[in-house]
Amino acid sequence: MEFHHICVIGLGYIGLPTSSMFASKGIRVTGVDNNAHVIDSLRQGKVHIFEPGLNEVAQQALKNGTLQVSAQPVEADAFIIAVPTPFYDDKKADLSYVRSAAEGIVPVLRPGNLVVLESTSPPLTTREVVQPILERSGLKAGVDFLLAYSPERVLPGRILQELVENARVIGGIDDASALAGCNLYRVIVKGEIVLTDATTAEMVKLMENTYRDVNIAIAMEFSRLADRFGVDVWEAIAIANRHPRVKILSPGPGVGGHCISVDPWFLVEKAPDITQLIQTARVVNDSQPEFVLQIIKRLLPDLRGKRVAALGLAFKPDVDDLRESPAVEVVHLLAKAGAVVTACEPFRPDFSIEGVSVTGSLADALRDAEFIVLLVGHAQFKALYPTEVAGMTSARLVLDLVNGFPREAWENAGFTLERLGDRKNSSL
């Protein structure tokens, strides 16, 4: 099966890179988004997402016309749904964007088309949500058109590389749909392509991120235990990981991003009675920002009026993605406790947090600070010379939540450096 025109619905962190990569192979791509600002920006050749290499690939595709943008789906050979799947306050999946995308395809769906859902979704979403909507067209899935699920499995900061190199899972509602999905993605994927059924593919994506979430949760609990027992958790983890069958991950201020902090809840939603471990891991990781606040209160018992420089707001280092970021939650809690917080986020200096000043300038964040907290291990923060920082601020108390600052260098520069999960070396 050949594809000459692909319509990608959703031009966010996954949809735009995917569209750009297909377009870079000479395939005509129409990218669709309901955000007028996104459409207008792209029509002007401006890429609204920071991702290494994306700007160049997208701009070239827009310039040569292989990538065009639209506010509505258009007729095509294949449709890829790459819209967000957030959750409601009760941790249930919000599939409104998926439903809306599928409904937008109905008027332009034609016999022989392939529709692929990429959005991370609870098991059975492809069959029980997307398929019935598409069949309102009068066409039958598996007979008149093909339908598959293929989850994105890429890491922000490496999206373009991993879209090409990572193994791709494609689950069809039937064998023909899975094979058609394979033909589509083989255009850009050099890695292995694994074919299965749609529900298995949905579960595979959730299993991958849930596995990571559970392993992060134990690292978080180890940091709390080390804090209680007077141990350096970073030293303990390094020693434990010398065991050939042990690989403990690193703790931090919490778990963020649109995958690991969200996906496990999709399994809990579908089977709450048999997911106790998954639920517990989520509770542990979601409560880590509050644990961080208690550490800060131990260092500064009265936060009212204290001027805090918070370094980093993104959910992980060196990206501009702040979705579900634990760093943002820590900053919220500090402000709620009465601290005067200035957050430095070089990748999103325009981000807005109520009651908090956000800047892209490290100097502005440090200038009047009394206390510094490293929330995100951005490379530029980890590369700071403590002697230079000492000249930028009178603050001498630092809390490192990601093991990003070398203790000896900072202490030699006159700072008191505290670390998450390290009561062994604490001076307070």
pLDDT digits (tens, 9 = 90+) for 150-170: 998 888 889 999 999 999 999
Contact predicate 300/234, CB 8 Å: no
Contact assessment for residue 257 and residue 199, using Cβ atoms and an 8 Å cutoff: no
Is 190 one of the annotated active-site residues of the chain? no
Mean pLDDT for 97-102 is: 98
Closest of 356, 375, 392 to residue 316, by C-alpha:
375
If you search the block for the tokens 């902090």, which residue do you land on? 261
Q: Give residue 259's pLDDT band: very low, low, confident or very high (50, 70, 90).
A: confident
Q: Cβ(116)–Cβ(130) under 8 Å?
A: no
Phi, psi angles (nearest 5°) of residue 273: -80, -15
| CA separation for the pair 235, 214 (Å, rounded) | 21
Phi, psi (5° rounding) for residue 114? -115, 130
Contacts of 325 (CB under 8 A, 6+ apart): 256, 257, 313, 314, 315
The secondary structure element, H or E, covering residue 416 is strand 416-419
pLDDT of residue 427: 79
Residue 428 confidence (pLDDT) above 80:
no
Q: Which of 205, 402, 207, 248 is nearest to 316 (CA)?
A: 402
Is it the case that residue 124 has pLDDT exceeding 90?
A: yes
- Stated pTM of the model: 0.88
Pair 210, 270: CB distance under 8 Å: no
Q: Let me know how long the chain is.
A: 428
Q: Scan for tokens 């291990």, then name that residue.
A: 377
- In the set 7, 25, 63, 259, the catalytic residue is 259
- pLDDT given for residue 116 in this prediction: 98
pLDDT value for 91? 83
pLDDT value of residue 418: 97
- The pLDDT value recorded for residue 382 is 97
How far apart CA 210 and CA 280 sit, in angstroms, is 12
pLDDT tens digits, one per residue of 34-49: 999 999 999 998 998 8
Give the mean model confidence (pLDDT) for residues 131-141: 98
Banded model confidence at residue 228, pLDDT cuts 50, 70, 90: very high
The domains found in the chain, sorted by start residue, are 5-191 (3.40.50.720), 288-419 (3.40.50.720)
Tell me if residue 337 falls in helix, strand or coil. coil
Residue 415: predicted pLDDT: 97
Is 259 a catalytic site residue?
yes
Give residue 122's identity as a one-letter amino acid code. P
Catalytic residue (choose from 7, 182, 205, 344): 205
Predicted pLDDT of residue 61: 94
Average pLDDT, the chain: 95
Q: What is the pLDDT of residue 152?
A: 87
Q: What's the rounded mean pLDDT across residues 91-108?
A: 95
